[in-house]
A and B are shown apart, each in its own frame.
Chain A
Amino acid sequence: EVQLVESGGGLVQPGGSLRLSCVASGFTFDDSAMHWVRQAPGKGLEWVSGVSFNSNRIEYADSVKGRFTISRDNAKNSLYLQMNSLRTEDTAFYYCAKDRLRYFDWACESWGQGTLVTVSS
């Protein structure tokens, strides 16, 4: 069974930093592209970033480009999201999601349960 478990969320002040982690199990992690998707409370879904299986291709939404960095450690079956210069509008549940393919098929076939990031003074 595919499992994705996010951690690292919490309360942070505007301008601060936070690092999210996602540990994967139940599938061959280094055979899948991965994504981060967020959802502000009561709002719709927003794609944040994606990374190919070997980290050769990385893409970001314009809203986080230059502030967020996605990375993965295939030896640890882990996906990360380093978030800097956080803004109040970054407040959301952050989901880790598994793509269908090694390079992007842009379809997230498995999702974690999410971790809440709250940016507030």
Chain B
Amino acid sequence: QSALTQPASVSGSPGQSVAISCTGTSSDVGGYNYVSWYQQHPGKAPKLMIYDVSNRPSGVSDRFSGSKSGNTASLTISGLQAEDEADYYCTSYTSSSTLVFGTGTKVTVL
């Protein structure tokens, strides 16, 4: 199972919006609504930001939103803040009954 494809990096100024794409196939992203997004700061454990494509866990800012179209899922961060600078990973359930992670995206706040 190949990793899902994410851009290596995205950047934006404080207050701006950025979007991170996550491209898979019909055997993973396109075939199931089990898409999640994680935020990871250096040296820390990942944190769940979005589950089931577009749902936010309790306590996660509503500046984070998720969506999916076909084989591509997206995470949008609105009103970018300095604390949002981190690595972001998408995941999807697959037809092989496994979980596959994305390649990861580094978000930089300019």
Q: Which residues of A contact B (CB under 8 A)?
A: 35, 37, 44-47, 50, 59-62, 95, 100, 104-114
Can you sample 5 A-B contacts with CB below 8 Å?
A: A35-B99, A45-B38, A47-B100, A105-B52, A106-B99
* Contact A107–B46 (Cβ < 8 Å): no
B60 to chain A, nearest CB (A): 10
The contact of B34 among A46, A61, A106, A111, by CB within 8 Å, is A106
Q: Report if B48 contacts A (CB, 8 A).
A: yes
Cα of A59 to Cα of B98 in the assembled complex, Å:
7
**Interface-located stretch among B17-25, B69-77, B78-86, B89-97:** B89-97
Inter-chain contacts of B89 with A (CB < 8 A): 44-45
**Given A46-B101, A62-B1, CB of A109 within 8 Å of CB of B57:** yes
A95 to chain B, nearest CB (A): 6
What's the interface size class on B, roughly?
Answer: 20 to 34
Inter-chain contacts of A59 with B (CB < 8 A): 97-99
Which residues in chain B, 7-52, are within 8 Å of chain A measured between CB atoms?
A: 34, 36, 38, 40, 45-48, 51-52
Task: Across the interface, name the chain B residue whose C-beta is closest to A96.
Answer: B45
Inter-chain contacts of A37 with B (CB < 8 A): 46
Q: Report which residue of A95, A108, A109, A113 has the largest number of chain B beta carbons within 10 angstroms of its beta carbon.
A: A108
The contact of A45 among B1, B52, B93, B104, by CB within 8 Å, is B104
Task: Across the interface, name the chain B residue whose C-beta is closest to A60.
Answer: B98
Inter-chain contacts of B93 with A (CB < 8 A): 104, 106
Cα of A62 to Cα of B102 in the assembled complex, Å:
16
* Contact A44–B100 (Cβ < 8 Å): no
* Contact B34–A107 (Cβ < 8 Å): yes
Q: Report if B108 contacts A (CB, 8 A).
A: no
* Contact B52–A107 (Cβ < 8 Å): yes
